[in-house]
Amino acid sequence: MTQNIYDDETFFAGYSRLPRSVHGLDGAPEWPVLRSMLPELAGKSVLDLGCGFGWFCRFAAGEGARSVLGIDVSGKMLERARRETADASVVYERADLESYAPPAEAFDLVYSSLAFHYIVDLAGLFARAYAALKPGGALVCSVEHPIMTAPVRQEWLSDADGRATWPVNGYLDEGERVSNWLAEGVVKRHRTIATYFDLLRGAGFAPGKLVEWAPSPEQVSAEPGWAKERERPFFLLVAASRS
Amino acid sequence: MTQNIYDDETFFAGYSRLPRSVHGLDGAPEWPVLRSMLPELAGKSVLDLGCGFGWFCRFAAGEGARSVLGIDVSGKMLERARRETADASVVYERADLESYAPPAEAFDLVYSSLAFHYIVDLAGLFARAYAALKPGGALVCSVEHPIMTAPVRQEWLSDADGRATWPVNGYLDEGERVSNWLAEGVVKRHRTIATYFDLLRGAGFAPGKLVEWAPSPEQVSAEPGWAKERERPFFLLVAASRS
C-alpha cells in the first residue's frame, strides 16, 4: 500500500496551509497550463485519481461534466472535500490507488494531479486507468518532474559563478525517495521520463502533449522569489489518449 | 548556417581520436540501445542526417539496405567516409542540414546520431525529414540529453555528502550553449524534452520509444570510470513514425 501521508496530522496541517489548499486551482501555478491540456468537459464523465480536497472535481462539475468521481486514500481530505461540495454530480470514494479498479469504459477523462509519484505499481494503475476510459478518452496528469525527484539530497547548490543550481544525481536509479517536505519521511517514487512513457505506452496509451512545467517569466515577474524555480522544471504534465 | 565545427582542425583531430571515431559503432556505448530501436533494414532506403565518418551508412548497407544516403556538412568527415566505404549502395552528399531538403517520400528510415542539437531550425529539419519518409517510415535519432545541455557551466559539483552531482540550471532557457569540448567555442542548442516532442509532433510525427541513455550497470562494471555517468542521462534516444 502507498504511504498515506495525507492523513498524518503534521503533514495534513502543513498541506492545508499551502496556497493550493487555501485558494484551490487558482493557488496552483501550473493550473493554467494543465487546464489548457484538458478536453472539453461539458457532458463528460470524469474520474479524478487522488482528488484531495476536490477542487478539480468541483471545477469539472462547474464546466458541465455529467458525472465526476473523486478517489483519494485520505479520509481527512475527503471529509473536507465532501463538506465543500454541493454539486450532486460529484461523488467521492475512499480507495487506495494501488489497488483501486474503476469501472470499465466508463469515463471520458481520467485526471490526476501530483499523485502518481507516490504509486508503487504505476503499471497496474495505468492499465486500470486505460481500461476505465471509453475509446477516444483522455488521461491528463501531473507528477513531480524526474529532475526534482532524482537527487538523494534535494537541496540547491551553487555553481562556480554562484548561480542557483539544482543537483541531479541518481537519475537512472529509480525507486523510493524520502523527503522531509511538510513532515518527516515522505516517501515518493522517482521514475525517469522514459519510464513514464514506457508505462503509458505499455498500458496502451498514445502519449500526446508533454509539458516540463516551471513558472512562466510573467509568473516570476509577479512573484520575484520564484526566479530560481525556472532553473529546472518542477512538474511534468502529460496528456495521453486511448485510441 | 550551423557552425561547421567538424572541419575545425583542432576539433577534427580530437574527434578523430574518440573511441567512436576509431572503433565505429562498437565504440559508441549507446549503440546497442539505439540499434534496438531500428526497424528491419533489409531492402530499405535509408537517409542518415549527419553521417560523419559513415559508420552507420556502412552498417545499414551491411544489413541489406537497398540504398543509403549519408549527408554531412563536414568535408573532412565525408572524405574519410568515402575512402572507407566500398559498398556501391552507399552515397554521400555534402550539405548543411539547416537547409538540406531530401527527396519527398523516398526513405523508409531517417537516422541521425548526435547531430540535431547543433541545428538552429529544427522545426524545419523535422518537417523536411517527415516529408522525406514514405508513409509508415521511421525516424530514429539521438541527441545530447537536455539535462546535459542545460547548464551554463557543464562541470560536476558535489552534494553535501560528496556525491558527484550534475548541475542543472537554465533548463527552461532554451538556445545557444557554448562548450569547450575538443575545441574552443563549440556551439550547441539546448532544448527541453518537451520541445523535442512538440517539434516532432508539430512536424506530424507520432513519438514512439524514448530512452534516456546512460551506461548500463554492466557497462560500468566493465569501465569503472564511468560510474558517475549514471548519475544523469547522457543522451536522449527517440523513435518516431510517419503515419
Residue A144 neighbours by CB under 8 Å, 6+ apart: A114, A117, A188, A234, A235, A236
- List the single best residue of B142, B155, B166 to mutate versus A (max A Cβ within 10 A): B166
Cell of A66: 455529467
Say if residue B1's pLDDT is above 70: no
Percent of chain B with pLDDT over 90: 85
Angle, in degrees to the nearest 10, between helices B122-132 and B193-202: 40
CA torsion A37-A40-A43-A49 (nearest 10°) is 0
> What is the pLDDT, as a whole number, of residue A1?
59
Ordered by where they begin, the domains of chain A are 5-241 (3.40.50.150)
Is the pLDDT confidence value at B2 over 80? Answer: no
User: Least CB-CB distance to A168: which of B166, B208, B209?
Assistant: B166
Mutate to test the interface with B, among A177, A197, A201 (most CBs of B within 10 A): A197
- Binning chain B into helix, strand and coil, the percentages to the nearest 5 are 35, 30, 40
The reported pLDDT for the residue numbered B3 is 79
The reported pTM is 0.95
- pLDDT-based confidence at residue B230 (cuts at 50, 70, 90): very high
For chains A and B, count residue pairs whose Cβ atoms are closer than 8 Å: 127
pLDDT, tens digit, 9 for 90 and up, residues B107-149: 999 999 999 999 999 999 999 999 999 999 999 999 999 999 9
Contact B233 A206 (CB under 8 A): no
Q: What is the mean pLDDT of chain B?
A: 95
Instruction: Give me the residues of A, 30-69, that contact B with CB < 8 A.
Output: none
Write down the pLDDT at residue B5: 86
Quick one: pLDDT at residue A181? 77
pLDDT tens by residue, B84-97: 999 999 999 999 99
Q: Which ranges constitute the DSSP H helices of chain B?
A: 9-16, 19-22, 31-36, 55-62, 75-84, 122-132, 146-149, 193-202, 217-222
Side by side, the strands of the sheet bearing A45-49 are A90-94, A67-72, A45-49, A107-113, A133-144, A235-241, A206-213
* Chain segment B142-180, per-residue pLDDT in tens: 999 999 999 989 999 999 999 999 999 999 999 999 988
Question: Which B residues, 212 through 231, put their C-beta within 8 Å of a C-beta on chain A?
Answer: 212, 214, 230-231
CB atoms within 10 A of CB B177: 20
**Which of B171, B201, B207 has its CB closest to that of A231?**
B171
* Tens digits of pLDDT across chain A (243 residues): 577 888 888 889 888 899 898 889 999 999 999 999 999 999 999 999 999 999 999 999 999 999 999 999 999 999 999 999 999 999 999 999 999 999 999 999 999 999 999 999 999 999 999 999 999 999 999 999 999 999 999 999 999 999 999 999 999 999 999 988 788 888 999 999 999 999 999 999 999 999 999 999 999 999 999 999 999 999 999 999 998
What grid cell was written down for B128?
Answer: 523536411
ipTM: 0.94
Please state the rounded mean pLDDT for residues B190-210: 97
